[in-house]
A and B are shown apart, each in its own frame.
Chain A
Amino acid sequence: MQLPPALHARLAGAPGAAAPLPVQRDSLAGNAPFRFAARQVRFPREHEFFEDGDVQRHLYLQDVITQVAAEPERPRVPEFTCQVAGCCQAFDTLEDYEHHYHTLHGNVCSSCKRAFPSGHLLDTHIQEWHDSLFQILAERQDMYQCLVEGCTEKFRTSRDRKEHLVTHHLYPADFRFDKPRKGRRPASQVSTEAIGEDRAPSEGDAMEVCSEQAEAHSEPPRERRVYSHRIPSTVCFGQGASRGFKSTKKRSKRQ
């Protein structure tokens, strides 16, 4: 297909449309036995017209192997340590440092030194754990906001919120970033996850999967039952792992 040379110039030229030639139709046009009528056509998603292009798209998705060695290598720098007071982690690439910083020092609560994955969760934490005004207001109105972005539901207690997270948003019952605060709340409302959280979190604050599972704890059995039948069966931490709350076990010191 040969294109007129002026076409490329037109592409680079100014926007515009041609003044249309006069339209003048004869009523015989498209009359039986003829049937042509100029009309636009739309194709729905699964139409076979799209088959070739769709296949090309997926070949592209499969072909492309990301992060090939052709990518410029991360520049290595002389080893340096994290500048945050009390942290002596060492790095030799900026990317590693960035990840470390954001994980451990970004979004950190200045009161209890807990780190959060996002500003949103940090703000929620500060409000619920360290703001005495919040506690006062919470006695009278729904203050506990749903943690899922975009959901505007608020709840009277953190337990109600957790229930909402589990039943409505299919979150795990032991979602790590939703620990209810221990203290002023009546004991029956505190789930055992809060126990043991008073200590400043050690660096390796991983979820425990040790064998000392939830057998021995002072939970009122009623509360446990509420959750266990509501946890969807799809939310199962490993095959057959018991779904319990963390017990009042000792936290292994980690550094």
Chain B
Amino acid sequence: MWSGRRGLLRSSGCGVEELRCRRREREAALRKARREQQLVSKRLLRDEATEEAEGGCVVVILGEAEIQEFLRLAQRGTEEKERERALVSLRRGLQHPETQQTFIRLEGSIRTLVGLLTSNQALLQLEAARCLHELSHSEQSAVAEACLPATSYLLTYLSGHSSDFIELCLYTLGNLIVESEAVRRQLLPQGIVPALAACIQSPHLTVLEALGYALSQLLQAKEAPGKIIPLVLGSTLPQHILQLLQPGPKLNLGVAVEFAWCLHYIICSQVNNALLITQGALTTLGLLLLDLAAAVQRTEDAGLELVCGQLVCPVVRCLSNLLTEAAAETVGGPMQLRDERVLAALFILLQFFLHKQPSLLPEGLWLLNNLTANSPSFCTSLISLDLIEPLLHLLSVSNVVSVLVLTVLCNVAEKGPAYCQHLWPGLLLPTLLDTLALSDTEVVGQSLELLQLLFLYQPGAAQAFLQQSGLQALQRHEEVAQLQDRVHALQQTALHG
């Protein structure tokens, strides 16, 4: 299970209100970035424990002369400890943007660093890699791109054996990947995809999580559908990814989160989803959803809940998009998703995350739509598992959610009288009357569609509607352009049958 090595937002003496405020700011910035299709996040791997042991996190700005001295010592020092210390000092200085700028402008600095990276001195190698990592994390393109000469070596070291070192290389590569298309144009011919495909066989969880992160950033690139995803699909990566998503005692949530997002970026790019289905993606993801629903019921660990939520989102998206593929509909095929426990899992998860991660709700309902639209079996399960009423309770959450709920109800109702019978009477009528009191045209429109189906298939529905002042409820919308035709049609049906 989740190793617990991930810490949540580190409190650095800030008040709770300040933290919330910062989070809101970051969220707004991310939203803006997404709208501009510039959503990238770099990851920084820093050993807090070592830093504190080294005497606090005071970052020193280094000048040119100091940098040169440290580099000289690291390269030519006589004693190994001395060389190491010099690099550590350099690395700490590089945490500061000013030092970074000075560093990259210094002639031969990167070359020296790369030389140390490729030396046979293990500890120097590690420190040099850490220095590069600091640079890769910079928001200044010039600084990050200064790391480019090192990429062929970073990739080469992915087939090495030291897990700490590989992890560092992967996070560094991940940061460089998001930097620009120019960087990726170098990494792709250098063989990043085969290198990752080889590295994913590592048994180390930290390596796997780092790899998942790097791969997810690669797959999120703008040019990914055309240039990167075909390469990935042609490699052994998809099989390994699905293996890492298999539920069971070996599942590691932190690792699974990263690879589930990888899978989402691949699937929603619509390059070759049929291939993934033949590799058992639907079955694996379905079982994973079940596992997650069981996990959230068992746990009280907030951190674990957070990671579960991070995993549920891409799993739901992948399932939902995969269901729309023709290959998913091969009736009776082993790859088809037919287990009604998926419905149970979905509702349990939606309820669990209703307040903790509200963004899951519309996405979960979208999955529900895709499960029920063409499936009498899932519609029947919705009824037999008593999920109609819980569904109705979601109608007050938001307009987007309401439209989705009503759509799912329509999916059930449109299958005929045997289905409508089970939707009736219960809470459905009063709930529909409530939605008719709203003003959102899409919500009202969808309610009207549902009413038509009920009037058509359920004897007595029209009459009950009239008795509950349904006509008055309809009247409100008589003048609304998008609604009036349907309103009139319903009025006619209700009055004249």
Contacts from A to B (Cβ < 8 Å): 1-4, 6-8, 10-13, 15-26, 28-30, 32-46, 49-71, 73, 95-96, 98-100, 102-104, 106, 115, 117-121, 148-151, 168-172, 175-177, 201, 203-209, 232, 234-241, 252
Contacts and interface: CB of A to CB of B under 8 A. Distances in A.
B48 A68 contact: yes
Given A29-B452, A99-B126, A239 B104 contact: yes
A168 B23 CA distance: 44
Contacts of B373: 38-40
Contact of A17 (B120, B339, B354): B339
10 contacts: A3-B348, A10-B340, A20-B375, A23-B416, A29-B456, A45-B225, A61-B43, A66-B6, A169-B189, A252-B76
A22 B418 contact: yes
Nearest to B265: A45
B410 A106 contact: no
B127 to A, nearest CB: 11
Given A20-B377, A104-B122, A106-B161, A8 B348 contact: yes
B293 interface: yes
Contacts of A118: 156-157, 159-160
Contacts of B112: 209, 238
Given A44-B268, A58-B39, A1 B393 contact: yes
A65 B35 CA distance: 26
Nearest to A205: B120
B100 interface: no
B385 interface: yes
B286 to A, nearest CB: 9
B26 A11 contact: no
Contacts of B354: 1
Contact of B377 (A18, A62, A63, A71): A18
The DSSP consensus for interface residues of chain B is helix
A170 B418 CA distance: 65
B107 A103 contact: no
A209 B380 contact: no
B344 interface: yes
A94 to B, nearest CB: 11
B380 A19 contact: yes
Contacts of B350: 1
Contacts of A60: 257, 306, 310
B485 A238 contact: no
Contacts of B414: 25, 29-30, 36-38
Given A68-B7, A104-B120, A16 B313 contact: no
A3 B351 contact: yes
Interface residues of B, number: 154
Interface stretch (B191-199, B239-247, B459-467, B468-476): B191-199
A65 B213 CA distance: 14
Nearest to B182: A234
B78 to A, nearest CB: 8
A53 B360 contact: yes
B64 interface: no
B379 A20 contact: yes
B49 A56 contact: no
Given A44-B270, A170-B189, A238-B109, A150 B310 contact: no
The 10 closest A-B pairs by CB, nearest first: A150-B194, A68-B7, A207-B115, A33-B485, A52-B359, A237-B111, A20-B376, A24-B416, A118-B159, A148-B191
B335 interface: no
B41 interface: yes
Contacts of A148: 190-191, 194
A8 B115 CA distance: 59
Given A38-B374, A41-B324, 11 more contacts: A1-B350, A1-B354, A21-B380, A41-B370, A58-B41, A60-B306, A64-B8, A98-B162, A103-B162, A148-B194, A209-B115
B297 interface: yes
